[in-house]
Structure 1
Amino acid sequence: MTAFTRAPHRKLVRRSAAVGVVAAGALFLSACGDDGDDMSGMNHGSGNNSATAEAGSSSFNDADVTFAQMMIPHHEQALEMAELADGRASDSEVKGIVAKIEQAQDPEIKTMRGWLKSWNKPTAAESMPGMDHGSGGGMMSDADMEHLEGMKGAEFDKMFAEMMIEHHNGAISMAEDEQKNGKNTDAVKMADDIVEGQSAEVKQLQSILDRL
C-alpha cells in the first residue's frame, strides 16, 4: 500500500477548490476545438529523455489543458479513497483494485502536472481557488468521504465499490471528451488508457458488489 501523509482538513479544502473545476470544466471541455497554442518542452513524467523529447514536439489545445486540470484533482480524490482502504478494507479484491489505483494514478498526476508546467498553464487548484464543493465529474462530497472513513470491513468494501464506480464513470466521461476534442498525442493516449483501465475496474467493482 502506498503511504500518503494524512491531512484531512487540508484535503477537504483542496477538494472543495478542485471539484468546482471538474464540474465547470466538463461543459468547457466538450466545446473545445483545435485553436490552442503550440509549445515545446512538454514533460511526460516518465523520466525517459527520448520520450520527453518526443512529447515536447507535440502541440496542444484548450481541451488538453482542461483535461489535465480536471483530471488531477479527480485522481487526487481517488488516491484519498484508496488511502482510506488501508486498515478498513477486508475484501482481497477491493485491496487489489486499491493497489491498481495507486500504481496508475499517482504517476499520471505527476505527468499531467508536468504537462501544465511546460504549457505555462496553472493546475486546477491554482486556477479556480475557493470554489464551492459539488458533485461534478463523479467527485465525492466531503460528507461522502467522511462517511467512507467511518466504515470498516464489509461495509467499507461495499461503500468503496459504490463510490469508486461513480468516481471512475466521471473520469471515463472526461477522458472520452479528451479523446474527441484533444490535440496533444500524449494527453489523448492517457485518455485512452483511462477509458480502458477504469472501464475494466468498473466491471470488476460491480462484480464485487454483486457478491457482497
Structure 2
Amino acid sequence: MTQPGFSGTFTKEFETLLRWRRDVRHFRRDPVPAPVLDGLLATACLAPSVGLSEPWRFVRVDDPARRHAVREDFARCNAEALAARDGSDAGDYARLKLAGLDDAPHHVAVFSDNDPAQGRGLGRGTMPQTTTWSTVMAIHTFWLAATAAGVGVGWVSIIDPAHVAGMLDVDPEWELVAYLCVGYPQDPSDTPELQRRGWERRDPARQQWIAR
C-alpha cells in the first residue's frame, strides 16, 4: 500500500486547524446532530494506543440529574481553588469563565481502562501510564475532528475525578481523564481565551529544542 502524499495546501490547512482548536467555554444551546457526534467518536478511535489496546471509554452524560451534580461538583472545586489564591491573582481568577457546563448541549466524560485485556499488555510493563496517555491522544483526535466540523470542545478539569466517576456509575476500575463540554461555539477564535483575557501567553522558548 502506498502512503498518500499531502500537499502544501493541506499542510497549511492542518496548521490552521491546530490554531483554531481552542478550549471553548461559551456555547450555543442547539444540539449537535447525532450523526456528527457519532462521526467525531469514530474519528477519535483512529488515535494511536499502546499495544493497540484502545483503552478510551467515551461516556455521554445525558441525564439532567447527573449533569446537575457535575455542575455542583465544579462549583465546589472552583470555590476551593479561588479560596486558595490571594491578592490580585484571586481577582483575575474570579473573572475567568472556566467551564461551559450550563450552556453546552452535550457533556462527554472520557475514561481510561488502564488494564484492558485488549493489547495483551504490550508496551505497558515499564510505563503503565501509556494507557492514560493513549486516552489523551483519543481526546485530542476527537477535539481536532470537532474543530474541523465547526464544533467546540471545552475540557473541565476543576472537578473531583473520583467523585464525578462515582456519579456516572461506570466500571470502578476506569480512570476519569477528561470531562468535556461539546457544542457549537458562540465566539470562535484562533487565540486561547486565557491569552485574550490576559491570564497567560505562549512562551517562545517552548518552540526550541533542548539539546543533551
Same fold (TM over 0.5): no
More helix by share: 1
Larger Rg: 2
More strand by share: 2
Q: Which structure has more RCO (C-alpha within 8 Å, separation ≥ 6)?
A: 2
